[in-house]
Amino acid sequence: MAEAMAKDIFGTSIFIDSVGIRNEMGDVNPFTVAVMEEKGIDLTGHTPKNFETLNDNSFDLVITLSPEAHHRALDLTRFYSTEVEYWPTMDPTKERGNRENIMSAFRSVRDYLEGKIKNRLCV
């Protein structure tokens, strides 16, 4: 979500990439696709990546969303002049209940990340 929103806001004016900590890769979570579609962002062709598939390590800023990702990013950037920032973010895939409860959790994460991106990266 964060990568897609940042790219939607900034286009190609800055380089943005995103990886997760899980090794399994595949399709984007359908709830993620649905809540991003509500914002006019199409994720149907997106393929999630993980740290093992990261091709670049020359980032000025790395933003992490979970404690595990934060520790991993700190480890990977320890020899570089890279700022690493942690934005504690709930994992909406842990939400249980009916479809609307789950969609609400995904919307909350989407809206939280959108606000953080705009506050942190827009000048």
For the whole model, what pTM was predicted? 0.87
Q: Does residue 71 lie in a domain region?
A: no
Give the separation between CA 63 and CA 50, rounded to whole angstroms.
Answer: 14
Mean pLDDT of the chain: 89
> How many separate domains does the chain show?
1
Q: Does residue 6 lie in a domain region?
A: yes
Q: Does residue 79 lie in a domain region?
A: no
Structural domain including 111 reads: 2-58+90-121
Q: Does residue 104 lie in a domain region?
A: yes
- The per-residue pLDDT for range 39-59, each reduced to its tens digit, is 999 998 888 877 777 766 678
Contact present, 51 and 72 (Cβ < 8 Å) = yes
Q: Does residue 76 lie in a domain region?
A: no
The CATH number assigned to the domain holding 115 equals 3.40.50.2300
Q: Does residue 64 lie in a domain region?
A: no
